[in-house]
Amino acid sequence: MPLIKPQRSPDAAPARELERDCASLVISLNNPSAVTRRWAARDLADCPDSSGALVARLGEEPDASVREVILTTLTRLGDAVAVAGLVQCMRSDDAALRNEAIEAMKLLPDAVAPIMRDLLADPDSDLRIFAVNILESLKHPDVELWLREVIERDPHINVCATAVDLLGEVGSAAALDSLRQLKARFAGQAYMAFAADLAIKRIQQD
């Protein structure tokens, strides 16, 4: 009895039988097959100049699993183009893409640190809040300093409130004066007084 070769799914092994050079991988990012796009995005981690193509694809990629791999590759590359692309995603109207970009930025402390002050001074208050959210998990020695600068200077109460909540978790005694000044700056705002007092209490208990 002759052997019958099993039929392969169109989205199975052929996905990686294409040329593996960087130029071909970039082309594969636009392949109709999500599996092919996913493998291409994964393999582009070995192509240092591929961040631009990955960012461009990220903005239009409909498949969540492919977006996940693109973001993972961008964090592995971690260059200026990758970071700039993630910042643009933070401005997107797509809430899922914004949140994915924020999570990716948290994994890039060395690449994000040089632009953090710019993010915290962005004209868009929503983006400033997103930047504070990045600080929540950003392993960098200047996190407390950046948060203190926010509550000392930012004019938007929601941005300051987000920063105060985090400062209560990561702040030291050096933040106490800034927190007291914040209460005076937003005098009459009951929530801000409550949040600042809570942060002060937490810091003094540590």
Amino acid of residue 60: E
> Please, are residues 200 and 176 in contact by the beta-carbon 8 Å criterion?
yes
Domain 16-105 in CATH 1.10.645.10? The answer is no
- Residue 16 has a pLDDT of 54
- Residue 8 has a pLDDT of 44
CA distance 195 to 190: 9
* pLDDT tens by residue, 43-52: 999 999 999 9
> Please, are residues 77 and 48 in contact by the beta-carbon 8 Å criterion?
yes
User: Which portions of the chain are predicted below pLDDT 50?
Assistant: 1-15
* Whole-prediction pTM: 0.84
Residue extents of the structural domains in the chain: 16-105, 109-206
CA distance 44 to 52: 11
Residue that the structure tokens 């937490």 belong to: 202
CA distance 132 to 100: 15
